[in-house]
């Protein structure tokens, strides 16, 4: 199963909206086939493992054990059900790390196997396997994506000079790591302020992927959906954001059709309306629910202090990633996040720091928010 988990990681940047899955076929303590799911619409891990076994050890497939990181699917989606493929192959046993949280499966795959006399079990390395698909699991169970918030600051917690100058607080290694975060994310969320101030593109830049660029040929990684909150309708088609042809979602609190029609928006830009809060701001919880309906598993927030702070204040962020540079800015530089509702230490958001490492000259801190 540990090998199957490692195989599943090969689809880390490519499988969404599908889960990352690996499979290993074993007969008489001999590995006869391995496979992983690479991309939605392509063969699933079990099918690829069976294909490899058929090529090298066809006589050993019958009676084999399949170790799969996620319960084999029992429904027909873009591809036929994997449970049926394993039944047809006459394997003797299927061990899944965890039950599929997708309500279309959720135990039906294992039942389908056991009904045909195949020993079907689950729970082996379940915790490790669940880490492969935190976004998929959350979307299936809570109906919102898994949300990461990326921040970069000096050692004294400043994200920019008082003038707004911020390029670059962190060094190349940290910026490359951010590109890899974008690559694994289904969507990147930013506010209009951030886009306008830096004339930012918010796209995945292959040339800045570092070591990952050696694994994936140029333009083979999909661009994440760029989600820009623009309640005041300040974006214009002339911005750099719109020169990269990949899907963009402009989010507003109410439709201003006459303003939109005055602009010649590129064909890949979509305007959507999300309900407003009492102070006429985009309801962030509603936005995440909308993205989940669009099969968005993992979201990366790359924004300024106000929007990042709003997501955190409302307990909508699962994981915080902070890049901290060995610099002191001092003065009245811009703060990391703004959370005006927090007035006492007892209200502070508590995080569990899971990882601290050096990236070149900078520190990368990964922490998860603790919920009661």
- On whether the CB atoms of residues 12 and 216 are closer than 8 A, the answer is no
Identify the pLDDT of residue 213. Answer: 78
- On whether the CB atoms of residues 302 and 147 are closer than 8 A, the answer is no
Whether 371 has a binding-site annotation, put simply, is: no
Whether 44 has a binding-site annotation, put simply, is: yes
pLDDT-above-70 percentage for the chain: 95
Question: How many other C-beta atoms can be found within 10 angstroms of the C-beta atom of residue 212?
Answer: 18
Residue 260 has pLDDT above 60, yes or no: no
Q: Is 32 helix (H, G, I), strand (E, B) or coil?
A: strand
Q: What is the sign of the dihedral through the CA atoms of 50, 298, 208 and 228?
A: positive
When computed from its CA atoms, the radius of gyration of the chain, rounded to whole angstroms, is 23
Whether 243 has a binding-site annotation, put simply, is: no
Q: What is the mean pLDDT of residues 239-257?
A: 84
- On whether the CB atoms of residues 20 and 130 are closer than 8 A, the answer is no
**Tokens 């992983």 belong to which residue?**
36
d(CA 321, CA 12): 18
Residue 64 has pLDDT above 90, yes or no: yes
Identify the pLDDT of residue 334. Answer: 74
Closest Cα to residue 188, out of 216, 151, 149?
Answer: 149
SS3 letters for 98-162?
Answer: CCCCCCCCCCHHHHHHHCCCCEEEECCCHHHHHHHHHHHHHHHHCCCCEEEEEEEEECCCEEECC
Residue 363 has pLDDT above 70, yes or no: yes
Identify the pLDDT of residue 262. Answer: 58
pTM, two decimals, is: 0.91
Output DSSP code: residue 257.
Answer: H
Whether 175 has a binding-site annotation, put simply, is: no
Whether 289 has a binding-site annotation, put simply, is: no
Whether 152 has a binding-site annotation, put simply, is: yes
- On whether the CB atoms of residues 91 and 118 are closer than 8 A, the answer is yes
Residue 264 has pLDDT above 70, yes or no: yes
Q: What is the mean pLDDT of residues 144-172?
A: 83
d(CA 90, CA 76): 20
Q: What is the mean pLDDT of residues 229-249?
A: 92
Identify the pLDDT of residue 314. Answer: 95
d(CA 321, CA 350): 14
Whether 231 has a binding-site annotation, put simply, is: yes
Identify the pLDDT of residue 210. Answer: 80
d(CA 366, CA 148): 10
Q: Going from the N-terminus, what domains does the chain have, and what CATH number goes with each? A: 1-133 (3.40.140.10), 143-369 (3.40.430.10)
Confidence of residue 164 (pLDDT cuts 50, 70, 90): low
Average pLDDT, the chain: 91
Distances (CA, A) of 85 to 62, 145, 169: 12, 30, 52
Closest Cα to residue 98, out of 46, 137, 141, 47?
Answer: 137
* pLDDT tens-digit map of 214-235: 787 766 788 999 999 998 889 9
d(CA 78, CA 45): 14
Identify the pLDDT of residue 258. Answer: 45
Q: How many CA atoms lie within 13 A of 339 on its CB side?
A: 16
Identify the pLDDT of residue 372. Answer: 64
Whether 205 has a binding-site annotation, put simply, is: yes
* pLDDT tens-digit map of 198-217: 888 999 988 888 888 778 77
Q: What is the mean pLDDT of residues 124-148?
A: 97
CB-count exposure of residue 99 (10 Å: 0-12, 13-18, 19+): middle
Task: Point out the residues that are catalytic.
Answer: 46
Identify the pLDDT of residue 163. Answer: 62
Whether 305 has a binding-site annotation, put simply, is: yes
């Amino acid at each position: 199963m540990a090998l199957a988990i490692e195989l599943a990681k090969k689809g880390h940047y490519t499988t969404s909206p599908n889960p990352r899955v690996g499979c290993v076929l074993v007969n008489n303590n001999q590995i006869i086939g391995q496979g992983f799911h690479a991309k939605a619409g392509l063969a699933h891990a079990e099918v690829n493992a069976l294909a490899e076994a058929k090529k090298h050890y066809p006589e050993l497939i019958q009676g084999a054990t399949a170790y799969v990181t996620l319960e084999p699917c029992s429904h027909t989606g873009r591809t036929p059900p994997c449970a049926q493929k394993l039944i047809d192959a006459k394997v003797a046993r299927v061990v899944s790390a965890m039950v599929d949280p997708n309500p279309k499966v959720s135990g039906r795959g294992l039942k389908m196997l056991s009904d045909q006399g195949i020993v079907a079990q689950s729970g082996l390395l379940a915790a490790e396997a669940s880490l492969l698909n935190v976004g998929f699991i959350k979307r299936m169970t809570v109906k919102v994506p898994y949300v990461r918030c990326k921040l970069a600051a000096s050692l004294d917690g400043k994200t920019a000079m008082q003038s707004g100058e911020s390029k670059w607080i962190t060094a190349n290694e940290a910026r490359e790591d951010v590109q890899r975060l974008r690559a694994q994310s289904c969507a990147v969320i930013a506010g209009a302020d951030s886009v306008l101030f830096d004339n930012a593109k918010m796209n995945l830049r292959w040339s800045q992927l570092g070591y990952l660029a050696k694994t994936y040929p140029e333009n083979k990684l999909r661009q994440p959906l760029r989600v820009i909150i623009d309640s005041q309708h300040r974006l214009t088609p002339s911005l750099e954001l719109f020169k990269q042809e990949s899907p963009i979602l402009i989010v507003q609190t109410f439709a201003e059709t006459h303003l939109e029609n005055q602009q010649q928006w590129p064909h890949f830009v979509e305007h959507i309306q999300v309900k407003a809060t009492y102070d006429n701001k985009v309801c962030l919880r509603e936005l995440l629910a909308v993205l989940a309906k669009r099969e968005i598993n993992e979201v990366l927030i790359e924004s300024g202090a106000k929007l990042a702070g709003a997501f955190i204040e409302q307990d909508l962020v699962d994981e915080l990633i902070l890049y901290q540079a060995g610099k002191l800015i001092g003065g009245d530089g811009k703060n990391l996040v703004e959370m005006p509702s927090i007035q006492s230490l007892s209200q502070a958001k508590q995080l569990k720091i899971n990882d601290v490492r050096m990236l070149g000259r900078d520190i990368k801190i990964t922490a998860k928010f603790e919920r009661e």
